[in-house]
């Protein structure tokens, strides 16, 4: 009897242990992993009704603009990476652009000090790209009627029950939202905060969505929505004009491709810094056998952190909008260059960021975002990451329109050489110029095994997106974890400057002590990105993982 009780207690202990396997969601036909459950359900419904992965992505993105307004948006921008079942792939860049009135030093005050206007208020917003990007994706690759895909978001805007997480998110951002009358009225109910379970209705946003359903992107960029937004900008000292909106275009780019340990990688090109970062860091890890030290070991963390440090030094100097700066992508990913960077890593000793500068690359060659990963029944795959930058963007809700505006202008180098809101130090290559797109960390990525779809992954998380996505991929490939365990495992982050190795909770005191002994300055991190991923298992079933650091959901059928 005593032995039986002991066995039961041991089983319970293993189930409760953070090291115990946690099963992902499984589906035979199609899968959606997104940052908010109601939006996930919208995507699954579209797929069940015969829609493809792009249809579902469009519907989920519009739904997130309603149910996850801290990041889901009409007033921001992002990237969509698509791999079709026939093997073709493409990348849609609908990143925000700097308004035509923008100038190099527009956010510097007396003495050259940043004023903070790139973070909060009307002047912080870049020209939104989301509606253009979603329509471009639908026009080129969608199958369901546009209005049918916008309709679920409009219905949700009539009212949905607020979750505990959403209620607390609104309350925690009250200081920002209180500064702007429309935001205070809509999201804070003029100081009477929403309680979990109460119905949250957004009539202005519903009407905007209904206009977009009828008139598409043209309505947003040239119709009533554009007119109201431009008028509000002019009245409040903002920079975006009717001309900026009318001239906005989504750009289709060729994805970056690479390989790691027998897997093919399809990822984001500039103006994302994420794809270059992912490929460069994995290139430095290839062949080192760092993984033999074991997941979450001090030796493995040390080596990966040193790889991160070197990439972020390069990022500060060489990454920017390729339409304005000749980004030396092939040289940054050249095997000899990567080997040279790898050779400077000492297994038992941390570098200092002061000594690790950007590498010598000749230029001769031509914390708020959200992500969704979708695989449909035919094997089409979408990784879509979009953002308004900080949580609830610049805090401004456009009067009569119901959506928040981004503060994406802070993703430029407001003052080259000084850190932005994420602590990133950036160079002159990413300085402000009219119509330029700011450098991004968004890293939507698709992996193949033997030419077949294997993984769809991405994340929100500011400068920590790249390292978060990297670690989930490494956990799956190098450490053999299932997708949910790979996401749940504690993560770490190093971005060169500041010279800190940030660790989430969950690493052992012995591991931390060993990292400090190697010379790392260790600091704590509440979160290193929030990853959403889908993996195709060897048996053909889909496994979906949603990050429990956030409040999303993976589901399928």
pLDDT, one tens digit per residue, over 172-186 is 999 999 999 999 999
Tell me the pLDDT tens digit for each residue of 200-229.
Answer: 999 999 999 999 999 999 999 999 999 999
- Of 6-20, 246-260, 371-385, the range with the lowest mean pLDDT is 6-20
Q: Report the 10 Å Cβ neighbour count for 439.
A: 27
For the cut 50, the answer to whether the pLDDT of residue 317 exceeds it is yes
Locate 280 and state its tokens.
Answer: 């460069």
Provide mean pLDDT across the span 462-472.
96
d(Cα 496, Cα 467) in Å, to the nearest integer? 12
pLDDT at 423: 72
For the cut 90, the answer to whether the pLDDT of residue 76 exceeds it is yes
Provide mean pLDDT across the span 301-305.
98
Determine what percent of the chain is predicted with pLDDT higher than 70. 94
For the cut 50, the answer to whether the pLDDT of residue 408 exceeds it is yes
d(Cα 25, Cα 48) in Å, to the nearest integer? 17
Provide mean pLDDT across the span 137-160.
98
Catalytic residue (choose from 130, 369, 385, 387)? 369
Q: What is the pTM of this model?
A: 0.93
Provide mean pLDDT across the span 61-72.
98
**Residue ranges per structural domain of the chain:** 55-252+391-425, 254-368+442-556
Provide mean pLDDT across the span 155-172.
97
pLDDT at 8: 32
Provide mean pLDDT across the span 435-445.
97
* Alpha-carbon 144 to chain mean position: 26
CA separation, residue 41 to residues 164, 344, 457, 531, 554 (Å): 18, 48, 19, 18, 9
Q: Please, which contacts does 519-525 make with residues 24 or more away whose CB atoms are closer than 8 Å? A: 519/349, 519/350, 519/352, 520/302, 520/305, 520/350, 525/464, 525/491, 525/492, 525/493
Fold of 254-368+442-556: 3.60.20
- Sort residue 287 into left (φ over 0), alpha (ψ -120 to 50) or beta: left
Q: What is the DSSP string of 262-275?
A: TEEEEEPPTTBSHH
Locate 514 and state its tokens.
Answer: 């060993």
Tell me the pLDDT tens digit for each residue of 277-293.
Answer: 999 999 999 999 999 99
Q: Report the 10 Å Cβ neighbour count for 533.
A: 31
359 falls in which pLDDT band (50, 70, 90)?
low
For the cut 50, the answer to whether the pLDDT of residue 20 exceeds it is no
Provide mean pLDDT across the span 408-427.
83
pLDDT at 11: 37
Q: What is the DSSP string of 88-141?
A: -EEEEEE--B--TT--TTTTB-GGG-B-STTTSSGGGPPBP-HHHHHHHHHHHH
Q: Report the 10 Å Cβ neighbour count for 133.
A: 27
Tell me the pLDDT tens digit for each residue of 535-552.
Answer: 999 999 999 999 999 999
* Alpha-carbon torsion, ordered 216, 48, 460, 380, to 10 deg: -90
Give exposure, 10-26, as e/b (b: 16+ Cβ within 10 Å).
eeeeeeeeeeeeeebbe
For the cut 50, the answer to whether the pLDDT of residue 250 exceeds it is yes
pLDDT at 360: 57
For the cut 50, the answer to whether the pLDDT of residue 508 exceeds it is yes
21 falls in which pLDDT band (50, 70, 90)?
low
* Alpha-carbon 16 to chain mean position: 30
Contact 432, 103 (CB under 8 A): yes
Task: Tell me the CB-side half-sphere exposure of residue 290, using CA atoms within 13 A.
Answer: 30
Greatest CA separation found in the chain?
Answer: 79
Locate 556 and state its tokens.
Answer: 């399928």
pLDDT at 9: 30
Bridge partner residues of 534 (DSSP): 456, 544
Q: Is the previous residue joined to 271 through a cis bond, with omega within 30 degrees of 0?
A: yes
- Of 19-23, 86-90, 428-432, the range with the lowest mean pLDDT is 19-23
Query: Is 387 considered catalytic here?
Result: no
């Amino acid at each position: 009897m005593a032995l039986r009780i002991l066995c039961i207690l041991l089983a319970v202990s293993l189930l409760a242990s953070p090291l115990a396997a946690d099963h992902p969601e499984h589906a035979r036909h199609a899968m959606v992993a997104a940052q908010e459950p109601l939006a996930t359900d919208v995507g699954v419904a579209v797929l069940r009704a015969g829609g493809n992965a792009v249809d579902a992505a469009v519907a989920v993105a519009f739904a997130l603009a309603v149910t996850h307004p801290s990041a889901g948006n009409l007033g921001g921008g992002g990237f969509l990476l698509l791999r079709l079942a026939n093997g073709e792939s493409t990348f849609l860049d609908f990143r925000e652009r700097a308004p035509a009135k923008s100038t190099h030093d527009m956010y510097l005050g007396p003495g050259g000090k940043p004023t903070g206007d790139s973070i909060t208020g009307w002047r912080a917003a870049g020209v939104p790209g989301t509606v253009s990007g979603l329509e471009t994706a639908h026009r080129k690759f969608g199958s369901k009627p546009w209005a049918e895909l916008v309709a679920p978001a409009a219905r949700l805007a009539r009212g949905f029950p607020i979750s505990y997480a959403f209620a607390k998110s609104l309350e925690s951002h009250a200081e920002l939202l209180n500064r702007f009358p429309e935001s205070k009225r809509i999201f804070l109910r003029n100081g009477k905060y929403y309680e979990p379970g109460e119905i949250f209705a957004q009539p202005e946003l519903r009407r905007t969505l209904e206009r977009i359903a009828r008139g598409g992107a043209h309505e947003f960029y040239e119709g009533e929505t554009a007119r109201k937004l431009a008028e509000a900008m002019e009245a409040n000292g903002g920079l975006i004009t009717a001309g900026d909106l009318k001239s906005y275009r989504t750009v289709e780019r060729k994805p970056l491709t690479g390989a790691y340990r027998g897997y093919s990688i399809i990822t984001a090109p500039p103006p994302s810094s994420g794809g270059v970062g992912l490929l460069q860091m994995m290139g430095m890890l290839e062949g080192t056998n760092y993984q033999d030290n074991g997941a979450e070991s001090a030796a493995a963390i040390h080596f990966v952190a040193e790889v991160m440090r070197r990439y972020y030094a390069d990022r500060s100097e060489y990454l920017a909008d390729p339409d304005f700066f000749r980004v030396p992508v092939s040289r940054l990913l050249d095997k000899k260059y990567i080997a040279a960077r790898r050779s400077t890593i000492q297994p038992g000793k941390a570098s200092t960021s002061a000594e690790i500068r950007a590498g010598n690359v000749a230029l001769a060659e031509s914390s708020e975002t959200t992500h969704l990963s979708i695989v449909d029944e035919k094997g089409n795959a979408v990784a879509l990451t979009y953002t308004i930058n900080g949580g609830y963007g610049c805090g401004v809700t456009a009067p009569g329109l119901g959506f928040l505006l981004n503060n994406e202008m802070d993703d430029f180098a407001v003052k080259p050489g000084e850190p932005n809101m994420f602590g990133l130090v950036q160079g002159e290559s990413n300085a402000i110029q009219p119509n330029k797109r700011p450098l991004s960390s968004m890293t939507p990525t698709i992996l193949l095994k033997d030419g077949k779809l294997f993984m769809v992954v991405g994340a929100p998380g500011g400068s920590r997106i790249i390292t978060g996505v990297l670690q989930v991929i490494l956990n799956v490939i190098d450490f053999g974890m299932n997708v949910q365990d790979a996401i749940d495992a504690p993560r770490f982050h190093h971005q060169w400057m500041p010279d800190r190795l940030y660790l989430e909770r969950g690493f052992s005191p012995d591991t931390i002590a060993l990292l400090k002994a190697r010379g790392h300055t260790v600091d704590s991190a509440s979160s290193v990105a929030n990853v959403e991923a889908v993996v195709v298992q060897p048996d053909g079933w889909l496994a979906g993982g949603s990050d429990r650091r956030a409040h999303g959901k993976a589901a399928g059928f």
